Chains A and B, each alone.
Chain A
């Protein structure tokens, strides 16, 4: 008996207790996502470009010793040089500072679109999906009708009605961005609402509104963030095309699309006037697309 006890119930030393200890700290969902995101080189490249563009837009005008409006007729059509890093335009205005103001406009349009698609699209889609039935049918038919016309067309009509100006461009672009988000959230909510945790919440007398806000939407977090990120490049794209067609913000305030349009008329003689805005627009949209794709892989690893 004594011997047996010695064999089976040995006193555990302190060292052996340590074996059971979980050494690796537990990671949250976001830490996990960041770990996956870091391995995606294109995504990191995108994030870097976005940060550089943001910095350029915010700080650029304070550091460039020119302003966007003063005309300098002695220095028209200067190719990029040590004074004017991106050259000057047909009225001798510094291109770099004009690009920085253009960056403010383009990026602000992108973020406004993202915020509206988050605010309007998520709520609209969640209500449609959660309530279901006739309400869902009606709400989704409305979305179908709006998306059956190319957004460019009604954006043009709306901007002509509202008049030019940055606020109106924000409104109009915001109106187009939320449709995809509404569809996505509706789909997610539709598949989530029949799950047991929703039933459990109902049983414990949680209000419908709280179920939507605290149970359903957080569960669709990944796709929502990805869709929000990817709505930014399309807004920048739309804004640039709108400016390119001569609608939107009025001169002398520069915008990337407007600068590109001015550049194209001088493409043969002063091609840099076209290349500078073209490269900025393309690089920014590309960066957001890479970043969004990387975010999708990071937040939604089940896809692969």
Chain B
């Protein structure tokens, strides 16, 4: 187990290294300098700026510097906002995105698990059909469509909730729902297939044969085991939420990391784009690793590190 975690950590470091390398060289290959503005700056100013950010030194040296900094979780200064570093932005914006993301995950789990269970228990019944169609529809709606539909009907027409900004719980409801749609359908599908498998297993048949009530079978015997595999969806779900937050935070003007990312695309703030890409990758790799370890801890049937022999 310990060896496995070490191996995975090493692998994660390699992946982050590769991603950092690629983003560094990509950003150096991008057309236009970092200080190109609508009104061209004085060449002397550009020279000074280059000196300030060490851009006058050989690229190989810059690369080594950048990698050393990234290894210490230092993503360097922003080229667009003076006197601010990428780390300042992560410190400020990440908590907002985290609250939003966790909220969306909780909504997805609370709705998705019961929906999946119902869908499995009433397989091919009308409840199952409705849930199947709903999940396909939710997967098919891009989150900006869901978000703007919520904005239009709940925000403008019914005037129930504020349509933008961040701070009060009311402002969090619509973005959370918009972000939860995709993971919700994902969890529902996963929960359904896992529940179906458990309901067909021998120990459930034994419980039925002994005359246990349906309620007891579902809640006491099946549910606990069927929920376990759902833990594994947290990884892909996490990726979906990160991608979704780019769009949703932009729409609702939420001062989170996703909105910052889209802003830096617009501003061509390369260190910010690079830093956030690496930061997101670290988050994702860490999340997947934690999920795998937790899964192995709660489900003793899973033996870590042996999956390659399958």
Contact = CB atoms under 8 A, between A and B. Distances in A.
Interface of A: 42, 144-145, 148-154, 156-158, 160-161, 163, 233, 237, 240-241, 244-247, 260-261, 263-264, 267-268, 271, 274, 278, 281-282, 285-286, 289-290, 293
Given A148-B284, A149-B280, A152-B246, A268 B156 contact: yes
Contact of A150 (B140, B156, B239): B239
A184 B268 CA distance: 37
A278 B149 contact: yes
A293 B133 CA distance: 11
8 contacts: A42-B133, A152-B243, A153-B277, A158-B26, A161-B29, A240-B144, A245-B247, A264-B251
A290 B134 CA distance: 12
Interface stretch (B15-23, B87-95, B100-108): B15-23
A149 B20 CA distance: 12
Contacts of B277: 149, 153-154, 157
Contacts, number: 108
3 closest Cβ contacts across the A-B interface?
A286-B140, A152-B243, A285-B140
Contact of B148 (A156, A237, A267): A267
B31 A163 contact: yes
Contacts of B45: none
B273 interface: yes
B53 interface: no
B139 A289 contact: yes
Interface in B222-274: 239-240, 242-243, 246-247, 250-251, 262, 265-266, 268, 273
A244 B247 contact: yes
A247 B140 CA distance: 21
A282 B142 contact: yes
Contacts of A261: 144
B151 interface: yes
Contacts of A144: 15
A149 B142 contact: no
A267 B246 CA distance: 19
Nearest to B145: A278
A286 B142 CA distance: 10
User: Main SS of chain B's interface residues?
Assistant: helix
Contacts of A160: 30, 265, 268, 273
B145 A246 contact: no
Contacts of A241: 142, 144, 243, 246-247
A42 B30 CA distance: 45
A144 B156 CA distance: 44
A148 B251 CA distance: 26
B145 A245 contact: no
B191 to A, nearest CB: 18
A293 B144 contact: no
B152 interface: yes
B148 A264 contact: yes
A154 B278 CA distance: 11
Given A157-B26, A267-B156, A149 B281 contact: yes
Contacts of A42: 133
A237 B133 CA distance: 19
B304 interface: no
